């Protein structure tokens, strides 16, 4: 056992087994490169330089792929697909440089824009151009999960979305999976724990986004400011596969991880 002092009046003992290091996972939310928050990524880089993470999960919508969207586009941004790919690759290589033993890439609806573009407008490119190839995911040893599918981190499901958005989407995801689940897509920070008839609790969470709200041109700014939150997530994986989840909001250019304050 290890002895701790708990104030002036009592001591408490903590078994060494309880001090064993848990596997740490960094969850990166919707980034929307090249319209990402540079300040947020600078902050996260400070975190990973001090906190050792074993794995990283990119939860989808890492690129925005604005120029190939089916939506109406700002003419000043249209036609810049090559620029989007270049900037996104550089940012992804930066994440890789943080030194994770395992890297998970969960595709989102923005990655799916490329598949839909090829399907609808350039079917002759099918099998030649892909998100995997453009972002060099397999080359850099990412474990890829297709859009509308999920991966597992221990006993935790991770997916991009379950076809819904809005404030009730996290609860909808929990109802769909009936198990521990992380979704992305919402740009909100939300966390809930709900049990079942047997008294078994399950956690569902969404960790915000990492985009730059100042570059959003498809939503009223007041609504984006109200509903969306900068942030990321941290997971601690036990030997039995259970994952303790912690949302990490980025507020006023700062965040707190493992009791340490980080600022841009």
Please spell the DSSP secondary structure of 108-176, one letter per residue.
-TTTHHHHHHHHHH-GGGTTTS-HHHHHTTTTTTEEEE-TT-EEEETTEEEES-SS--STTHHHHHHHH
Which pLDDT does position 71 carry in this prediction? 85
Residue 257 to residues 49, 55, 130, 141, 233, Cα–Cα distance (Å)? 12, 16, 36, 27, 10
The confidence band for 103, taking pLDDT boundaries of 50, 70 and 90, is very high
**pLDDT of 8 over the 70 cut:** no
Element (H, E) at 93: helix 81-96
Half-sphere exposure (Cβ direction) of 203: Cα atoms closer than 13 Å: 16
Which pLDDT does position 18 carry in this prediction? 53
d(CA 223, CA 159): 25
Which pLDDT does position 77 carry in this prediction? 75
Q: What is the mean pLDDT of residues 87-108?
A: 98
Which pLDDT does position 85 carry in this prediction? 97
Entry pTM: 0.91
- Three-state SS letters, 28-72: ECECCECCECHHHHHHHHHHHHHCCCCEEEECCCCECCHHHCCCC
Evaluate whether 159 touches 150 at the Cβ level (below 8 Å).
yes
Which pLDDT does position 16 carry in this prediction? 47
Q: What is the mean pLDDT of residues 225-236?
A: 96
**pLDDT of 155 over the 60 cut:** yes
């Amino acid at each position: 056992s290890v002895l701790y002092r708990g104030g002036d009046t009592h001591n408490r003992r903590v078994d060494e087994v309880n001090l064993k290091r848990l596997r740490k996972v960094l969850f990166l939310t919707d980034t929307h490169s090249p319209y990402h928050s540079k300040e947020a990524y600078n902050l996260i880089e400070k975190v990973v330089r001090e906190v050792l993470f074993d794995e990283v999960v990119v939860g989808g919508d890492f690129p925005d792929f604005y120029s190939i969207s089916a939506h109406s586009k700002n003419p000043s941004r249209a036609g810049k697909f090559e620029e989007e790919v270049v900037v996104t690759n550089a940012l992804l290589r930066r994440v890789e440089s943080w030194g994770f033993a395992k890297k998970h890439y969960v595709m989102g609806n923005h990655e799916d824009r490329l598949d839909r573009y090829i399907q609808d407008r350039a079917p002759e490119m099918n099998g030649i151009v892909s998100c995997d190839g453009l972002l060099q995911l397999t080359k850099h040893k990412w474990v890829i999960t297709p859009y509308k599918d999920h991966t597992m981190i221990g006993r935790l499901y991770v997916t991009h979305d379950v076809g819904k958005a809005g404030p009730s989407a996290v609860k909808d995801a929990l109802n769909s999976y009936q198990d521990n689940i992380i979704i992305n897509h919402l740009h909100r920070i939300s966390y809930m724990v709900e049990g079942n008839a047997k008294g078994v609790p399950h956690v569902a969470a969404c960790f915000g986004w990492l985009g730059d709200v100042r570059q959003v041109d498809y939503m009223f700014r007041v609504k984006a400011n109200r509903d969306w939150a900068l942030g990321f997530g941290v997971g601690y994986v036990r030997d039995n596969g259970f994952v303790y989840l912690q949302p990490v909001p980025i507020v006023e250019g700062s965040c707190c991880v493992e009791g340490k304050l980080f600022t841009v």
